[in-house]
Amino acid sequence: MSARIQAPRGTYDVLGETALARDALEGHARRILEGAGYRRIETPTFEATELFARGVGESTDVVQKEMFTFDSGEDQTFTLRPEGTAPVCRAYLEHGMHKLPQPVKLWYLSSYFRRERPQKGRFRQFWQVGIEAIGSDDPGVDAEVVLLLAELLEALGCRGVRLRIGSLGTPATRAVYREELQAHLRARADRLAPEVVERIDLNPLRAFDSDHPGTREVMATAPRLLDRLDDEDAAHFAAVREMLDDVGQAYEVDPTLVRGLDYYTRTVFEFTSDALGAQSGVGGGGRYDGLMEQIGGPPTPGIGWAAGVERMLLTASTIAPAEPALDLYVGYAGESHRPAAFRLAADARRAGLAARLELAGRSVKGQFKQADRAGARYVAILGDEGTSLKDMETGAQQTVEADTVMHHIAKAGL
Ligand code: HAM
């Protein structure tokens, strides 16, 4: 026998209960997001590599290490999408969506690909629910977007959820701040962990995440980006916070909140869950007012978030995977009745009922058992003495003509 082939590392099959739970999650997302005026968008699974190099940023881990890139054989390389924001912005430009009423509000539930080391809650192909609101820099959009993710996590019963928010200001403020932080670190390099010293040039902000005691001391007095925002950015951030306060949305301001993608400006936020362990990020996002220009469009503000489907399901407590309803189970006693049973099941479906036909050649007793397991409301067994119709809810059973089964069921209001 030849060796069995398995699913690639970091991928998985969606089966049984998990498939039902994901359907339920999608239902909640659709209800909440479409209710708020978001329309579904689906973009291609792969895009020009340059879209992510320019959009997500050359210096990010995602672009440097995690992209699945392949040669198209036509002098172009493509990349399996590692995230959804750059593709949605590309679609906005490509379809001239600036002509629509702004902001254009779009949502997606799609799969994404990152070459990461797989572990609990971290996969190489994973799914995200996400939204993008493009074409407005009003702080009200920021606050509403944050609340929509809070509402989704609440509807799913996600446990131990905390919200952190911050503001990154503009790239110009950030550049000045970066130099200030680098100077602070260089002046105290002898007290820092060696790996922090190594990263002073490349990524000084990472120093805020260090557990090293000397580094922590140095960081306690380090300048904070939040204190360096220009007046407009500070007012924007204050307005977002005020609106969240106004509706009683709890959050912590995290002056060191950095996200792994380069396009963020102003508001950034992240929902974490204690129920997740190391990979504690359930979902996050922020504003990306410079992204459209990065990918060749006119200046266009935007904000959005994405939340991992696997991580939401890992933390969800109340999501109830409902078995699909079954109105009628059609069975038969003896092969000669099979064609009539087939016709009855087809007729029932045409009439709009959820109907299932016996397909495994079970005994009549076995058919009743199977119908019961499947949660059927009615069972019709076609046989020599006519059709036996059982109401599984009341237990009432009667013999009827095969062509009146639909009539009897209709009387019960199905
Ligand atoms: P992100 O923080 O990279 O943001 O990903 C969002 C969420 O996707 C994470 O919080 C996590 O739940 C999930 N996720 C990310 N990587 C993995 C993985 N390897 N396995 C499982 N789940 C994962 C973005 O992707 C931005 N596009 C969000 C955004 C939209 N910002 C503005 N608009």
Rounded to an integer, what distance in angstroms lies between the CA atom of residue 58 and that of residue 54? 7
- 379 near 405, Cβ under 8 Å? no
Confidence band of 412 (pLDDT split at 50, 70, 90) = confident
Q: Whose CA is nearest to atom 15 of ligand 1?
A: 308
- Look at residue 386 in the predicted model and tell me its pLDDT: 93
- What letter would DSSP give residue 119? B
Residues with CB under 6 A from ligand 1: 83-85, 114, 116, 121-123, 126, 128, 130, 132, 260-261, 281-286, 288, 304-308, 310-311
Q: Which atom of ligand 1 is nearest to the CA of 84?
A: 27
Rounded to an integer, what distance in angstroms lies between the CA atom of residue 51 and that of residue 66? 15
Residue 55 has pLDDT above 80, yes or no: yes
- Look at residue 389 in the predicted model and tell me its pLDDT: 97
- What letter would DSSP give residue 360? S
The CA 323 to ligand 1 mean position distance, Å, reads: 30
Confidence band of 61 (pLDDT split at 50, 70, 90) = confident
- 63 near 260, Cβ under 8 Å? no
Q: Give the pair of three-digit tokens for residue 311.
A: 């991580």
Report the 10 Å Cβ neighbour count for 264. 27
Q: Give the pair of three-digit tokens for residue 25.
A: 């999650």
The CA 306 to ligand 1 mean position distance, Å, reads: 6
- Lowest-confidence pick of 46-55, 104-113, 272-281: 272-281
- Look at residue 58 in the predicted model and tell me its pLDDT: 87
Do the bridges between strand 302-308 and strand 281-287 make them parallel or antiparallel, or are there none, so unpaired? antiparallel
Which sign, positive or negative, has the C-alpha torsion 177, 182, 188, 192? positive
Q: pLDDT averaged over the chain?
A: 94
Provide mean pLDDT across the span 122-140: 98
Pocket test for ligand 1, best of 67, 107, 128, 273 (most atoms within 8 A of CB): 128
Residue 319 has pLDDT above 80, yes or no: no
User: How much is the pTM?
Assistant: 0.91
pLDDT tens-digit series, residues 204-247: 988 888 889 999 999 999 999 999 999 999 999 999 999 999 99
Which residue in this structure is represented by tokens 């209709």? 410
Which residue in this structure is represented by tokens 């997001």? 33
